Chain A
Amino acid sequence: MLDRRAFLKLAATMTAAFGVGNLPDPVAAALNKLDPAQVPKLIYLQGMSCTGCSISLLQAESPSAATMITDYAQLVFHADLSAISGRGALEVIEQYLAGQAGEYFLAVEGAIPADMPEACVIGDKPFADYLLQAAATMTAAVAVGACACDGGVPAAEGNPTGAIGLQEFYNRHNVTKPVIQLRGCSVHPDWLWHTIVHLVKVGMPELEDGSPTLFYGRKVHELCPRYHDFQQEIFARKLGDKGCLFKLGCLGPDTYADCPTRWWNGGQTWCINANAPCIGCASPTFARRKDFPFYRIGEKNRRTTS
């Protein structure tokens, strides 16, 4: 019987071998040699977002964000970087969405206000209209970060807009184009950029529930350098203590992400290395419920007074 590691390896090989035929021509053509004329075009649109994922993408080290947008992808439009503004910007977006400027991938950062279209508008149209228009012409979509995947904080309990993620939005409108889910609040820059590199050089990465197993295959807890502390029951009792952070509320056991091996900000650090509990920002239920706090630090006070 195949063990998990062997299975994943086989699956990746098979994806590499068989995924290519399904790719759009520009991607297939770019497999062996990066030709600037052939790299996939990205239209990057922001919905109910905080721009944190875009800022995170600028923190990429290797390749850098500048290399990514010149060598591995063409960033046709991004609200934070595009020189053009106003009507000219809308024209670029509309040309692609109308299918008149060639093939493209749609990258979406931010949630969609399903119950309140006025809560997110670009130009003179609700954000949702652009997504429906793109559904007919795009090759595939990439949901960048927690909000685009599952609604994120805008979809947390009590929200007034009915915020949802891109896959849910497309499900409700019977759109069946593939949506790659890159969770995280914010997304790790590698999770998007290396997905694109994978698309360009190898083909569609292996996905599980829409997310690349390359990044989201294991739980934070399983990979955590403090797993030994957990086994030895060496627990931090208050913030600033060393040891396993589980009793402070660490959500590593519920969160699929490779932060413990990938680290953040150029490999300098990551949350638990800074003695900060994982808040489960790559989990589909991130921040969702009011009665499920990030930390268990307030429990002692509630016990003593109630």
Chain B
Amino acid sequence: MRIELGPVTRIEGHLNVRTTVEDNVVVDAQCMGEMFRGFEKILEGRDPLDAQQITQRICGVCPYAHAIASSYAQEQAYGLTPPANGRILHNLVQGANHLYDYLLHFYQLSALDFVDVTAILQYQGKDAGLRHLKSWVQAELASGKPYPAAPFLPRLSGTYLTDAQFNIGALKHYLEAMEIQKKANRAAAIFGGKFPHSTGVFPGGCPQEARIDLITAYQSLIREVREFIHQKYLPDVAAVAAAFPEYWRIGVSQGGFLSYGLLPRGPKVDSERLLAPGVLLDGEVRPVDFEAITQDVGRARYASGSGLTVRDSELRPAPQKQGAYTWIKAPRYQGRMVEVGPAARIMIDYAQNHNPTVRTLVDRFTKQFDIKPAQLNSVLGRHLSRAICAAVIADFLLSETERLDPGAPTMADINIPATAEGFGATEASRGALLHYLRIENHKIAKYECVVPTTWNCSPRDDKGTPGALESALIGTKVADPAEQIESVRIVHSFDPCIACSIH
């Protein structure tokens, strides 16, 4: 039986998933990315600094990640190193963006997969926000509207949490997270100018000053976010894990893992990073080589060559190509399928015994849930890895603010050469993000982005190997093949961003 899960909601963008179900088991899955804009064509021939702004419009959920990746690529091309303050401001902007994104993902995008929103009707307490929500839901249900209490109802059929107290607590945190994510973004905007789509991040630093009043405002906001992460986010993830332990074994991708590492601890892009880069294949972590990345388009809607390296990439759309089922290309590392994202980040750092806080948190939670670190490759593992990333990043951001030198320069002078090239690699919240830029005659001759969801939601490559999400879906047992809440939970655990993946 063939069932399409799209349009998948509570993700970014236009994703459909075509599944084949036999005897209540998903035996095949195809990820279909359904929105194409052609960013690389739009970038060709433009002023190189335009990339700083244009590439952010690839994604309004994680624009800062694109701003940072583009900055790194341009810095390499321009031979530019920011002053110490400049790199710290980059980190403060990008790190705060990660925090908002994790909270948004767990509460707004994922929680309704597990939490029973109707539990609010049993609320008897005095919290103003919850009383308001209760009376609103009551009024909606009594209104006779065709779709009352939208967008929270209707929902997929399935088993939701049954503990009324936990459901109500989670709904309270859903509302609180909507407030807290704003604080993370306000912090980012202090140095980034605004959010979404920062105007204040450049190759070579940020033009905003490192002024003590700004630094203090940033610290104050991030402390509030950090408090929420420890008091609510981590415990809520743990509570969902306790109620749905089978999801440590559901949604397991069948390839390797890739992370470019996150947040350099020094002005140079190749300084040691807060989370270490690496590619994890066959249980072994190796250094990342950008030349090992190729992109297949056999099943994607392009007439371009297949298996091309990043430097030689092409973009020739073929919207009606026979045998193609998506706009997403299939990137591969040494020809191998890999998963990127929070679980890859944490597993690769942990395997290298690199960040002591990562080690402590992974050890604590694997013991608490009686799982192995390799089980971070699962629905719950991805949720937990995000929360661990959040805790580690929040602490780092506060320590970075102490390293700022108030009044010292924050921005290097930019000179754009006639001919140059550069790679810029960082971790977006959704995973490994690579920008490549080649400049000829002072203009962009080539720009290529290989984006996290391009990896995770990739179609079959030319050898027929499924992408990470496809492989994680195949084999899943589903109670209701028509709705497949189990599959939707797997999709959500990857936090797909389709605008990013195709761009």
Per-residue CB contact flags for chain B residues 148-172 toward chain A (1 = under 8 Å, else 0) read: 0011111110000000000000000
Interface centre among B5, B151, B189 (most CB of A within 10 A): B151
Q: Is the CB of A122 within 8 A of B7?
A: yes
The answer to whether A81 touches B49 (Cβ under 8 A) is no
Contact of B193 with A269 in the complex, beta carbons under 8 Å: yes
Question: Of B14, B34, B189, which contacts A264 at CB under 8 A?
Answer: B189
CA distance A39 to B364 in the complex (A): 49
Q: How far is the CA of A56 from the CA of B151 in the complex (A)?
A: 18
> Do B60 and A186 have beta carbons less than 8 Å apart?
yes
How many pairs of residues, A versus B, come closer than 8 Å at their CB atoms?
Answer: 311
The stretch of B328-336, B347-355, B387-395, B411-419 that contacts the partner chain: B411-419
A81-120 interface mask toward B, CB cutoff 8 Å, 1 = contact, 0 = none? 1111111111010010000111000000000010010111
- Complex interface bits, B171-195 against A, C-beta within 8 A gives 1, otherwise 0: 0000100110110011001111111
The answer to the question of B109 belonging to the interface, with a C-beta cut-off of 8 Å to chain A, is: yes
Contact of B178 among A65, A83, A88, A120 (CB under 8 A): A65
Docked-complex contact B190 and A268, CB < 8 angstroms: yes
Q: Which of B20-28, B202-210, B225-233, B455-463 lies at the binding interface?
A: B202-210
Question: Is A294 a contact of B49 with CB atoms below 8 Å?
Answer: yes
B34 contacts A274, C-beta separation under 8 Å = no
Smallest Cβ distance from A252 to chain B, in angstroms?
12
Report if A161-B37 is in contact (Cβ < 8 Å); known contacts: A84-B156, A274-B193: yes
Residues of A within 8 A of B415 (CB): 300-301
Instruction: Flag A191-231 by CB within 8 Å of B: 1 or 0 each.
Output: 00000000000000000000000000000000000000000
Could you say which residues of chain B place their CB within 8 Å of the CB of A264? 189, 193-195
Q: From A77, A293, A298, give the contact of B150 (CB < 8 A).
A: A77
Closest A residue to B181 by beta carbon equals: A58
Q: Are B409's CB and A240's CB within 8 A?
A: yes
- Which A residue sits closest to B108, measured CB to CB? A81
Q: In whole angstroms, what is the CA distance A261 to B289 when docked?
A: 48
Q: How far is the CA of A239 from the CA of B63 in the complex (A)?
A: 21
Residues of B within 8 A of A123 (CB): 4, 6-7, 16
A131 at the interface (CB under 8 A from B): no
Residues on A with beta carbons closer than 8 Å to the beta carbon of B204: 239
| A240 and B207 contact, CB distance less than 8 A | yes
Say which residue of A88, A154, A298 sits within 8 Å of B154 (CB atoms): A88
**CB of B58 closer than 8 Å to a CB of A:** yes
Among A1-9, A15-23, A164-172, A276-284, the one that faces the other chain is A276-284
- Given known pairs A59-B182, A153-B57, A161-B36, the reply for A276 and B7 (CB within 8 Å) is no
The interface residues of chain B, by DSSP majority, are classed as: loop
Q: B155 to nearest A CB, angstroms?
A: 4
CB-based contact B195/A59 at 8 Å: yes
Select A185's contact among B14, B197, B209, B413, beta carbons within 8 Å.
Answer: B197
Is the beta-carbon distance between B151 and A69 smaller than 8 angstroms?
yes
A163 to B41, CA, bound (A): 13
Contact residues in B for A186 (Cβ distance below 8 Å): 60, 196-197
* CB contact under 8 A between A82 and B9, given known A52-B60, A52-B196, A121-B14: yes
Verify A158–B42 contact, CB threshold 8 A.
yes
Task: Determine if A64 is an interface residue (Cβ-Cβ < 8 Å).
Answer: yes
Cross-chain contact B182 with A58 (CB below 8 angstroms)? yes
Take A36-B143, A101-B146, A275-B207 as given contacts and tell me if A80 and B9 are in contact as well, using a CB distance cutoff of 8 Å: yes
A260 at the interface (CB under 8 A from B): no
- Is the Cβ of B150 less than 8 Å from the Cβ of A239? no
Asked if A255 lies at the interface with its beta carbon under 8 angstroms from chain B, I say: no
B145 at the interface (CB under 8 A from A): yes
Q: Which of A40-92 contact B (CB under 8 A)?
A: 46-56, 58-59, 61, 64-66, 69-71, 74-90, 92
- Does B488 have its Cβ within 8 Å of any Cβ on chain A? yes
The residue that A52 contacts in the complex, of B63, B175, B190, B483, with Cβ under 8 A, is B63
**Does A265 lie at the interface of the complex (its beta carbon under 8 Å from any beta carbon of B)?**
yes
**A295–B369 CA distance with the chains assembled, in angstroms:** 53
Shortest B64–chain A CB gap in Å is 11
Question: How far apart are the CA atoms of A78 and B10 in the complex, in Å?
Answer: 9
In the complex, residue of chain A having the shortest beta-carbon distance to the beta carbon of B36: A119
Q: Are A239 and B207 in contact (CB under 8 A)?
A: yes
Interface string of A233-257 (1 = CB under 8 A from B): 0000011110000000000000000
Q: Is A12 at the interface (CB under 8 A from chain B)?
A: no
- Determine the distance from Cα of A238 to Cα of B207 in the docked complex, in whole angstroms: 9
Interface 0/1 of B131-150, CB less than 8 Å to A: 01100100110010111001
Partner of A301, one of B36, B197, B200, B442: B442
A42 vs B113: C-alpha distance in the bound complex, in angstroms? 23
Chain A residue at minimum C-beta to C-beta distance from B150: A76
Contact of A158 among B45, B109, B199, B327 (CB under 8 A): B45
- Check if A301 sits within 8 Å of B416, measured CB to CB: yes
Q: Return the chain B residue nearest A109 by Cβ.
A: B60
Tell whether B476 is near chain A: CB-to-CB under 8 Å: no
- Please tell me if B270 contacts chain A, counting CB pairs below 8 Å: no
Complex Cα–Cα for A71 and B133 (A)? 10
CB-based contact A293/B151 at 8 Å: no
CB distance from B304 to the nearest CB of A (A): 12
B454 at interface (Cβ–Cβ under 8 A)? no
Q: Is A77 in contact with B151, judged by CB distance below 8 angstroms?
A: yes
**For the complex, what is the distance from the CA of A120 to the CA of B140, rounded to whole Å?**
33
Give bound CA distance, A157 to B47, whole Å.
Answer: 13
Say yes or no: B483 contacts A88, CB within 8 Å.
Answer: yes
- Asked if B53 contacts A88 (CB within 8 A), the reply is no
A159:B156 contact, CB within 8 angstroms: no
Q: Is A33 an interface residue (CB 8 A)?
A: no
A50 x B156 contact (CB < 8 A) = no
Task: Decide if A290 touches B46 in the complex (CB within 8 Å).
Answer: yes
Are A240 and B411 within 8 A (Cβ)? Answer: yes
Q: What is the distance, in angstroms, from A70's C-beta to the closest C-beta of chain B?
A: 5
Whole-angstrom distance between the alpha carbons of A148 and B209 in the complex? Answer: 35
Interface contact B416-A298, CB-CB below 8 Å: yes
Q: What is the CA–CA distance of A240 and B35 in the complex, to the nearest angstrom?
A: 38
Asked if B406 lies at the interface with its beta carbon under 8 angstroms from chain A, I say: no
In whole angstroms, how far apart are the Cα atoms of A75 and B150 in the complex? 6
Nearest-CB residue, chain B, relative to A272: B193
- Tell yes or no: B79 within 8 A of A by CB: no
Which one of B9, B13, B35 lies within 8 Å of A84 (CB-CB)? B9
Task: Please state if B12 and A80 are interface contacts (CB–CB under 8 Å).
Answer: yes
Chain A residues lying within 8 Å of B12, measured Cβ to Cβ, are: 51, 80
| Cα-based distance from A76 to B145 in the complex (angstroms) | 11
Are A80 and B499 also in contact (CB < 8 A) when A51-B59, A69-B151, A274-B191 are? no
CB distance from B454 to the nearest CB of A (A): 15
Q: Is A297 an interface residue (CB 8 A)?
A: yes
- Can you list 26 pairs linking A and B with CB atoms under 8 Å apart? A50-B63, A51-B13, A51-B59, A66-B175, A70-B136, A76-B151, A82-B10, A82-B150, A83-B155, A84-B155, A87-B4, A102-B145, A118-B36, A119-B327, A124-B4, A156-B42, A163-B37, A264-B194, A265-B182, A268-B217, A269-B190, A269-B194, A271-B200, A274-B199, A301-B418, A305-B442
Shortest beta-carbon contacts, A-B, top 4:
A52-B60, A293-B47, A274-B193, A240-B411
